[in-house]
Amino acid sequence: MEVIKLDMETFMSLFSLLRPLVVFFVSFSVFHVMLCRFVGARKLSGNDYGHGPPTYPIIGCLISFYKNKTRLLDWYTELLAESVTNTIVVRRLGARRTIVTANPDNVEYILKTNFSNFPKGKPFTEILGDFLGYGIFNVDGELWLAQRKLASHAFSTNSLREFVVNTLEEEVENHLVPVLERSAETAVVVDLQELLRRVAFNMICKVSLGIDRCSLDPSLPVSPLDRAFDMASEICARRGAAPLFLIWKIKKWLGIGSERKLKDAVREVHAYVAELIEDKKKKIGTGDNEMSSNQQDLLSRMIVAGHEEEVIRDMMISFILAGRDTTSAAMTWLFWLLSCHPEIERELLKETSAMAPEKMLDFESLKKLKLLKACICESMRLYPPVAWDSKHAMEDDTLPDGTPVTAGDRVTYFPYGMGRMEALWGKDRFKFKPSRWFNYNRLGGSLKEVCPYSFPVFQAGPRVCLGKEMAFIQMKYLVASILRRFEIRPVSSNRPVFVPLLTAHMAGGLKVLVHKRDVLR
């Protein structure tokens, strides 16, 4: 489509032209809803099944929604806690009927039992489609299944695990530790979240693309790929949060504003990834990719397997998005929680130091770090990197707790709220208490098997996060190597704020001072 360039004035006049349209659209939907209500003559209480926010005809829960706009996570959590089955129905003018659940039976039903009735759905894939194309993250049905099979194969090989650990070692010893040492010597404040984010970005670039581009040095800007990625994902996240769907569609159609930027950013990402694929193909063609098969990145594996270029490109983009901000957010919250719980930090230090100092962390020794695993899970229980995730019902259905689902409804499972349900975690649910992950709630025993539908931070069922194991390896390795060498002290004693976008993070990062520990124990 031709892109129309507009100056501000034409834009404003265009906007006033559009205004009657918007007014018409809104009054039409009000009329439409009224008509439906009249015909259906439904009585509205909290809502028509179980609990929910105060709901009125036509506007739904619009009023309380706007009042609670800045604290939606906690508002939903409170409402869910009040509901007998930990499930609520939210109806609001301008949004589709949404069922939010923190009930493990419902979650299992949506994510596994009747998986095929709860795809991501068009409302979701449309928002991310321009950026992610037909990548695994953004498709349903056959398109998804084919990529899932392909990628699970690549992800599950033991050699990949070794590759991940070797890559981590290189990244930590040669890049991360020097940066932290320098900041310890000069007593300069660093943003730990940004530093960990860059490490995670490098890791995912190396493991999936086989490249090394971004610098960890906080005084240097991020790589162009990282920046374009940031831009594209942020604009997509804002698309999803826009009060009126029409607005971004119009902007896209006109090729202006944020949609213009999105287009440029996506073009940049595409060109860059395409170039990498070309390079890699040449190397493989000339036998120059001298790495042995157990040191290979995902891109090489995909090319050797003979997949189409566009499929590979979209898949790589999905991987980068999935692996970029999630682990860094989880680790940042853990470091903050540890700083508030010195007694646990001491125990953890004991565990990670128990390995001889000269011993590098290999895949086997990482498996033995049980308390560390418990701490990571406990941190993600309270601050899940993906706070909520939605599906869209294909057909009418009924959830196990009796909540009726209508075709087209948004059905949201809610890890953040689930981590805070008394029914699941007991009275001390708000407390950071790693011992709850051990049998008999005692540190040092064996770890409990926790039902994935009660703790769906990685989702669960057929579409469970593909990078789950890789993420644990990465987080354990990084937290253990930082903790053994450095003391991390946040400079502010204020409680950080949890911001859920596409993925959640700590608002403003985590500013810390770094001290070297006396002995490398």
Which residue from 64, 85, 183, 327 is in contact with ligand HEM, where contact means CB under 6 A? 327
User: What is the phi/psi pair of residue 430, to 5°?
Assistant: -85, -5
- Separation CA 189–CA 199 (nearest Å): 18
First-to-last C-alpha distance (Å) of the chain: 62
Which residues, other chains included, contact 170 with Cβ-Cβ below 8 Å and sequence gap of 6+? none
User: Among ligand NAG, ligand HEM, none, what binds residue 337 when CB lies within 5 to 8 Å by partner kind?
Assistant: none
- Separation CA 150–CA 134 (nearest Å): 14
The 3-state DSSP composition of the chain as helix, strand, coil percent (nearest 5) reads: 60, 10, 30
Write down the least CB distance from residue 503 to ligand HEM, Å: 8
Contact 110, 391 (CB under 8 A): yes
Q: In this chain, which stretch among 111-119, 188-196, 337-345, 384-392 interacts with ligand HEM, using CB under 6 A?
A: 384-392
Closer to ligand NAG by Cβ: residue 71 or 153: 71
- Separation CA 337–CA 391 (nearest Å): 31
- Separation CA 441–CA 418 (nearest Å): 20
Tally of CA atoms within 13 A in the half-sphere of 400 that contains its CB: 16
Which residues, other chains included, contact 479 with Cβ-Cβ below 8 Å and sequence gap of 6+? 331, 334, 335, 372, 375, 376
Site string for ligand HEM, 201-230 (x = CB under 6 A): ---x--------------------------
Residue 375 annotated as part of some ligand binding site: no
Site string for ligand NAG, 42-81 (x = CB under 6 A): -----------xx---------x--xx------x------
Q: Which two tokens mark 500? A: 């859920």
Write down the least CB distance from residue 108 to ligand NAG, Å: 11
Query: Where in 121-160 is the site for ligand HEM (CB under 6 A)?
Result: 136-137, 148
Contact 76, 414 (CB under 8 A): yes
Q: In this chain, which stretch among 78-86, 318-326, 417-425, 507-515 interacts with ligand HEM, using CB under 6 A?
A: 318-326
User: Among ligand HEM, ligand NAG, none, what binds residue 139 when CB lies within 5 to 8 Å by partner kind?
Assistant: none
Closer to ligand NAG by Cβ: residue 255 or 408: 408
- Separation CA 59–CA 66 (nearest Å): 12
Q: Which two tokens mark 295? A: 């040191």
User: Among ligand NAG, ligand HEM, none, what binds residue 137 when CB lies within 5 to 8 Å by partner kind?
Assistant: ligand HEM
Beta-strand ranges (E) seen in 60-218 are 87-90, 98-101, 190-191
Which residue from 465, 482, 504, 512 is in contact with ligand HEM, where contact means CB under 6 A? 465
User: Among ligand HEM, ligand NAG, none, what binds residue 322 when CB lies within 5 to 8 Å by partner kind?
Assistant: ligand HEM
Write down the least CB distance from residue 76 to ligand HEM, Å: 17
Residue 434 within binding range of ligand HEM, rule CB under 6 A: no
Query: Where in 464-483 is the site for ligand NAG (CB under 6 A)?
Result: none
- Separation CA 140–CA 118 (nearest Å): 10
Contact 218, 192 (CB under 8 A): no
Which residue from 61, 192, 471, 473 is in contact with ligand HEM, where contact means CB under 6 A? 471
Site string for ligand NAG, 111-150 (x = CB under 6 A): --xx--x---------------------------------
Which residue from 49, 458, 477, 486 is in contact with ligand HEM, where contact means CB under 6 A? 458
Give the containing element (helix H, strand E) for 171.
helix 158-171
Residue 402, SS3 per DSSP = coil
Write down the least CB distance from residue 188 to ligand HEM, Å: 28
Torsion sign, CA atoms 335, 483, 328, 473? negative
Which residues are documented as binding site for heme?
465
**Which residues are at the interface with ligand NAG (CB under 6 A)?**
53-54, 64, 67-68, 75, 113-114, 117, 394-395, 397
**Which residues are at the interface with ligand HEM (CB under 6 A)?**
136-137, 148, 204, 318-319, 322-323, 326-327, 330, 385-386, 389, 457-459, 463, 465-467, 470-471
